[in-house]
Amino acid sequence: MTSITNKQSKMKFIDLFCGIGGFHQALGSLGHECILASDKDKKCRESYERNYNMKPNEDVYKIDEKTMGDFDILCGGFPCQPFSNGGKKKTFDDDRGLLFDEIIRIAKHKKPRFMFLENVKHILKVGNGEVIKYIKEKLDKTGYHLQMQVMSPHHFGIPQQRERVYFICIRKDIYNGTDVELKIPDSTPIELEKFMQKKEEVDERYFVKGIELDVLKAWNEMIHEFEVDERISPTILINDEYRNYSLEEYEKLAAWRKDYMEKNQRLITKYRKKFDEWYEKHKTILLRREIYGKLEWQVGTIKPNDSIFNYFIQMRQSGIRVKKAEYFPTLVAMAQIPIYGKQMRRITPRECARLQSFPETFILDESDQVNYKQFGNSVNVDNVKFIIENTLKHYNLL
């Protein structure tokens, strides 16, 4: 157990489930020293070593808490797959859900002053609340006072909506009886262009082309046919409208699909002639993939001179999702890289780095796919730093 008594002392920390080092970026910028990192992902370990000159341990289960050095802070964005909306929500049936216990194992023996942890917001409700109850009980029995805070980068003017829950764990013998004051802004103006590379800086490979561009242009033609203030939700399943299902086939469809098809009828009936002409013209490409025939318009009613290219676009399994261009959709580790409609291109790995508050000096991987996955899994550096900085100030350690 280590003891820190003045503001000038450099504290030591360990970075579990470290990924590409979001916590390391935050704590390093505050002058603290990482003595151990760990992640099972080979590419993350390579990135970590490339950026911090430190080779992470590859197996948290093999960390020996009895022989490791002392440290003041334990941090980690413990794996969220069992808890997230995108995962299968297996909770304790999934081995990854038990990785939280590795944090507890190390904390029981080393008793760091602080632990800063992060996970998806959904962890607060998954498993009928049993998961968060388990976490709270484990931390309490291990000797830590817990304060939780839900926060997103967009609260601080970063154009990404990414709500996460942060766990501020303070060893009970140093807990001063008051929670850390965290002033989360209600709203901060977002200057999207500050986070975007200039169009001339962007490599040609990021621009949408071929069949994808043709599909977006096709849908844009239909958007131009709608009247101002027209409501075009829910998801339009245009291929289903023209499949001519028999009654028997229709009855076998999933309930959600039938519900969407029925709700589509108001719009399709109103614009029947336009839809018929448009679909006949574009059906070859709309039928190429199921998602091409689905449009999720999540930007409100039709506006004057509206266009699909006024917004962010994602090619998702559920369809072509169109979202307001105020901030980027949440970065995820899957291949759903947002398309910046105004420039008809996907966002670049460097822009992903900016959305996660990594510095321009951060060295990217050579593979775009690896970069997208890593930033999709990372913690947001500025959010993490906000939590840590305010906690250390609260304890007169900064």
At 284 the three-state DSSP class reads: helix
Contact 49, 28 (CB under 8 A): no
Catalytic one of 34, 44, 80, 169: 80
Contact 43, 19 (CB under 8 A): no
Q: Is the dihedral of CA 155, 156, 162, 167 positive or negative?
A: negative
Using alpha carbons, list the distances in angstroms from residue 303 to 8, 63, 223, 232, 314. Answer: 56, 57, 10, 12, 20
CA-CA distance, 283 to 376, in Å (whole number)? 34
User: How many CA within 13 A on the CB side of residue 373?
Assistant: 12
Q: Is the dihedral of CA 237, 313, 328, 338 positive or negative?
A: positive
DSSP string, 209-232: -HHHHHHHHHHHHHHTTSPTT---
Contact 54, 90 (CB under 8 A): no
DSSP E strand stretches across the chain: 12-16, 33-38, 73-76, 114-120, 144-151, 164-171, 236-237, 294-298, 312-316, 319-323, 339-340, 345-346
Residue linked to tokens 């002409």: 277
CA-CA distance, 356 to 351, in Å (whole number)? 9
Length of the chain: 398
Count the helix, strand and coil residues of the chain and give each as a percent rounded to the nearest 5: 45, 15, 40
Contact 113, 170 (CB under 8 A): yes
Asked about 80 being catalytic, the answer comes back as yes
> Strand 236-237 vs strand 294-298: parallel, antiparallel, or unpaired?
antiparallel
Residues designated as active site = 80
